[in-house]
Chain A
């Protein structure tokens, strides 16, 4: 290891993003039948993640919201290094993960931890809580194990820790299991937690406590979080900033409160408007959007929401840019800028 090749967790300055994607694409090939193979029929790939730029900063909690099939899970898997990107870069502390050595990957896997959606299936049923928490410490050769286990449980609000250490997953409730998952993620003192719908399988009576816990962790332990969910009504409790994904693309990005209060993209508007309100006196009206998202296969140019969009225009056949609205908001929609004019002025700039 030379001076240039420091381990991944020592690199980087504080102002650059902790984790960043640039033009990230992940395409999947479709299965080809033997006949199609013989006929040399090329099938269009599934464009699960298509040109996504994201930046997670220190002490920030970044949300990616979208319906099933929008590509948010593929994005997460690609960030974790489980899928190889088709195109584009993933940068951790400024370093492209494509150039990672084996040691870098090991450091990355220690520093970037995951909380899965399903607490009932993401813990080994045969291991006690203590054993489940000791395992990552052994793998990463960290000492002072008993103290760390106790501290991680306490940080995850499993008090007193001794009461939980010797229990197995079958003896815990969904909320307690998810806290064990959180403790297991925290025990390696990561700087990023990737959370995949961590409360969607919990009952509403415990959902809030896990949401509160996650948001305290960001503030108290200085962990950054990348949070994936389909549920806009709970993200405000965890996320500082939201990216809305639709068929592989980010259509809108904004700080959480303004996004919920005044969504700009017609798709975000439809999503926010469709959330049920727990108030029988309030009439929000039913959704005006028809149809379903479909699949990101063989999609040509243009906005991917155009077929369902109530505000569709002719120009929507051209792919919208990520337009800067000011106030730290971006939207990929033709309603907010003049595409032709922008293209013309860009052309002038290139010519000159």
Chain B
């Protein structure tokens, strides 16, 4: 078996603070295969940004990986030096689409100059070849070819975001990390951006790690999902599995909280409380205080992330009651999300 594209295993990230060591990510694991679109979902403070920053040594100076590993094509990224990551990994292998494109393009440089600079550092392409390639990418993301020489301010917000996507695609990376790429955009523009990401999925083998708070976007655009709460991966697997058969209380309740414009009269769920800030060792489930089905064990140990359902489909859950919570939930409510939820009695 070949190595997966990105394998995050038992990753723990801590920040040094005045009050001691803050655990932002604890024992997080998930895997992204080649060509896969993977959504990392959670509320603010769940650790998704910290986890993402830690992948390519982008943590703030008081943060560090204390245990676990991040392997890209089998190679441990945490062991590489900053220079090696810059030279070999960034842009060429893994590129980045940040949330705010306004701040990620150099306002004093034409967009094409920023692309040519990347080409000069990382490739043997001539200026002309690089320019031609970049023009082609502009077309793929739905921007006019002749506007590659524009300055960032000449584009609208949505167009800037697409220009950043073109830059991220430019060196043909195998993985694109997109951190809330459409959160600042209106719905129609968001849909335009995902239309081009769909097209990239059809035409290339590039994988995307999409970080977002919006589970709807992940359900529509990704193959797999990981739901994080309080620094722990609560559940991960194919999006259809997490929709049809969610096994973690947080996955169930989070889905219940999302509005669905098809059913404007459905009651929205509320999850009481908020994710905790965990100091020191996290030897409990971070959802315990918000969970309606918590038992004693949940505060005594951190539940391990273990496979459920059919072996090999990659559906993992970290809950001691993973086998029963969905039935408990369904027994307590008569909600049914629609025809597609497998509400057949078991």
Contacts and interface: CB of A to CB of B under 8 A. Distances in A.
A280 interface: yes
B260 A204 contact: no
A144 to B, nearest CB: 32
Nearest to A267: B188
A257 interface: yes
A203 B230 CA distance: 14
Nearest to A286: B195
Interface in A240-289: 256-257, 260, 270-272, 274-282, 284, 286-287, 289
A122 interface: no
A46 to B, nearest CB: 16
A276 B265 contact: no
Interface string B229-271: 0000000000110010000000001110111111011011111
Q: Which of B194, B265, B270 lies at the interface centre, i.e. has the most chain A CB atoms within 10 A of its CB?
A: B270
A281 B243 contact: yes
Contacts of A276: 187, 190-191, 214, 216-217, 219-220
Interface in B125-183: 142, 156-159
B257 A230 contact: no
A60 to B, nearest CB: 18
B219 A279 contact: yes
B240 A205 contact: no
A345 interface: no
B340 A281 contact: yes
A237 B268 contact: yes
B159 A292 contact: yes
Contacts of A290: 142, 192
Interface residues of B, number: 47
A173 B219 contact: no
B53 interface: no
A281 B261 contact: no
A118 interface: no
Nearest to A70: B186
A204 B191 contact: no
A271 B187 CA distance: 7
B270 A209 contact: yes
Interface in B180-239: 186-192, 194-195, 198, 213-217, 219-220, 239
A232 B240 contact: no
Interface in B288-339: 337-338
A274 B239 contact: no
A280 B217 CA distance: 9
A207 B268 CA distance: 9
B213 A274 contact: no
A222 to B, nearest CB: 23
B43 interface: yes
B123 interface: no
A43 B156 CA distance: 21
A149 to B, nearest CB: 24
B274 interface: yes
A157 to B, nearest CB: 11
A68 interface: yes
B223 to A, nearest CB: 9
Given A270-B188, A277-B220, A289-B188, A211 B261 contact: no
A67 interface: yes
Given A205-B257, A275-B187, A256 B264 contact: yes
B44 interface: yes
Given A204-B213, A206-B270, A67 B220 contact: no
A212 to B, nearest CB: 7
Contacts of A280: 219-220, 239-240, 243
B239 A204 contact: no
Nearest to B263: A236
Contact of A67 (B186, B255, B261): B186
Contacts of A286: 191-192, 194-195, 198
Nearest to A66: B186
A208 interface: yes
A281 B43 CA distance: 24
Given A203-B43, A209-B270, A286-B198, A68 B186 contact: yes
Contacts of B156: 292, 294
Contacts of A208: 257, 267-270
A175 B45 CA distance: 14
Interface string B263-290: 0110111110010000000000000000
Interface in A65-79: 67-68
Given A212-B268, A257-B264, A279-B243, A207 B187 contact: no
Contacts of B43: 203-205
Contacts of B44: 203
A281 to B, nearest CB: 4
Nearest to B215: A278
Contacts of A292: 156-159, 189
Given A203-B44, A208-B270, A279-B243, A274 B188 contact: yes
Nearest to A234: B259
Nearest to B43: A203
Nearest to A284: B220
Contacts of A204: 43, 213, 215, 254, 257-258
Contacts of B254: 204-205
B264 A278 contact: no
B261 A272 contact: yes
A208 B272 CA distance: 11
B115 to A, nearest CB: 22
Q: Which of B159, B190, B261, B271 lies at the interface centre, i.e. has the most chain A CB atoms within 10 A of its CB?
A: B261
Nearest to A204: B257
Contacts of B255: 278
Contact of B216 (A205, A206, A277): A277
Ranked 6 nearest A-B pairs via Cβ: A208-B268, A236-B264, A276-B216, A205-B271, A67-B186, A287-B191
9 contacts: A204-B213, A208-B257, A208-B269, A212-B270, A274-B190, A278-B215, A282-B262, A282-B340, A286-B194
Given A204-B215, A276-B217, 12 more contacts: A204-B254, A204-B258, A208-B269, A233-B259, A237-B264, A260-B261, A276-B219, A278-B216, A279-B338, A281-B240, A286-B191, A292-B156
